[in-house]
Amino acid sequence: MAYLKLYRDKLRANYHFLDELFKKNDIKWGITTKLLCGHEAYLKEVADLGIGEMHDSRISNLRKIKEIDPDTMTTYIKPPPRDIIESVVKYADASLNTELSTLHALSEEAQKQDKVHKVIIMIEMGDLREGVIRENLIGFYEKVFQLSHIEVLGIGTNLNCMHGVMPDEDKLIQLSLYKQIIELRFNKTIPLVSGGTTVTIPLLLRNQLPSGINHFRVGEALFFGKDLFTDGTIEGMHNDVLELYTQVIEIAEKPKVPSGELGKDPQGRTANIDEEEYGETSYRAILDIGYLDINPDHLINVEEDVKIVDASSDMLILDVGDNKSGYEVGDFIRFRMKYMGALGIMNSDYIDKMVE
């Protein structure tokens, strides 16, 4: 057995830290909930924070958010696939866009549903994920402003989401300038410059964020308190809103080195043997979780006497030394997780999710 626990008080503490920070700097923000994979109880916990704006990359999750709180503003945070345009207009008040043909389809569908669909146009600023090429920006906006049932809510960018390109003052000043150029060129008002995500928060804390950036989309900082510049925790925030509890299903003293002819393991790897460990033993604990649920590289030890050895599809192997902690079958060993690890756990139907 294994289960994930969300600590409500720590979630709320992180939320209030961020909310006060953004309010102090006149910044609007929304919570990115894609980590939660549509888990209803966890979505309710986020909705109860009172944020009023939630973002997700799956339309089924946005539908659940609307069922929980119809007044919450929802944003679909990637260019919408053509096959779900009807659902995007129905369940997302806004979406992030980069393709004119998709925007035409959104406008036509919004007209059918008697709505005006809001959009944030994403700009390519160097990380080479989604985004309109900057040289094409004026012509792109000229065509978007002609769409009858589209409202341009903002201009935005994503950094550190593909190749690890970090935000800096120059890139974010450029983004703000593009907004001003477009407003002057077309005599339009663009309310939001959505240049902020978790990776941008340290710039705000160091007073290095250009004043034109007035909108953030935040997920990882809320759930992990993560400072992506230092790979540490933002001072004043919790890094343990979510913790994974895994049950010991076997514990025994065993050799440190496998015996017999070595072939490739199920992942196509051949074990590297440390010859100095021949004849040595340690206690090995087997836990009821494996690669099916999480990559061991995405687990962070909480217990000091635990060392992750490896995993198979559904079992995790730990070296617990001489077992000074006295682990027994049935005990639970606790871990924190990196973002991608938590994403895998949330997407696993085999792991129970709890709130405390």
What are the φ and ψ backbone dihedral angles of 195, each rounded to 5 degrees? Answer: -110, 5
What are the φ and ψ backbone dihedral angles of 128, each rounded to 5 degrees? Answer: 60, 40
What are the φ and ψ backbone dihedral angles of 247, each rounded to 5 degrees? Answer: -95, 140
Strands 53-56 and 299-301, by their bridges, are unpaired
Contact criterion met (CB below 8 Å) for 322 and 282 = yes
Give strand pairing partners of 30: 217
Tokens at residue 137, please? 């920006």
> Which of 5, 28, 34, 256 is an active site residue?
34
* 28 assigned to active site: no
3-state secondary structure of 111: helix
Buried b (16+ CB within 10 A) or exposed e, 325-354: bebeeeeebebbbbeebbbbbbebeebebe
The CA-to-CA distance between both ends of the chain, in Å, stands at: 18
> Long-range contacts: 101-105, Cβ < 8 Å, 24+?
103/144, 103/147, 103/150, 104/147
3-state secondary structure of 83: helix
Q: How far apart are CA 298 and CA 318, in angstroms?
A: 15
Q: How far apart are CA 192 and CA 155, in angstroms?
A: 6
Active site members: 34
